[in-house]
Amino acid sequence: MLLSPASISINVCSETALLKMKGEGVNTAFMDCVELLQERHDMDVTINGEGRGDIMHSHTYGPYYFLRGLSYRKRKILTVHVIPDSIKGSLPLAKFLMPFVKWYFRQVYAYADAVVAISPKVEQVIKELGVTTPVYRIDNPVHLDKWKRT
């Protein structure tokens, strides 16, 4: 792709892509985001790229998120798909682990310089956790060409 001198480079990151977790909800949303960004001609999009871009945009929040973010001071965006209550029913002893889970998610959200909430509920939970990182709500899109009304 031929880029103009004013183009911006975005390193879009997701541990679901690194672990090849195809069909998993967060990975599907991640790939949709990558596809939309790649349609623009003023952006150079790298997926889990080495080196440094202008911005890191992550969709997951494990060790890779924290390690890659070290070189992106004031340039980290996190799209939040998962909130602490998401672990209920998927993690044994969830109610006992909830204080730690809430603490961890606060750290995850606070590490970013901007947070994208994918729904009103996600936005509300992030704010209720006391995170001071700016939160922007962009509802998850639906590809109408891939889905039909039932």
Per residue in 25-71, pLDDT (tens digit) is: 566 677 777 777 778 778 887 777 766 789 898 888 888 889 889 88
Q: Domains along the chain?
A: 8-137 (3.40.50.2000)
pLDDT of residue 26: 64
pLDDT of residue 22: 57
Burial label for 20, CB within 10 Å (0-12, 13-18, 19+), is exposed
User: What is the enclosing helix (H) or strand (E) of 35?
Assistant: helix 25-38
Q: Quick check: 116 and 76 in contact, CB under 8 A?
A: no
110 DSSP assignment: H
Distance CA 103, CA 118 (A): 21
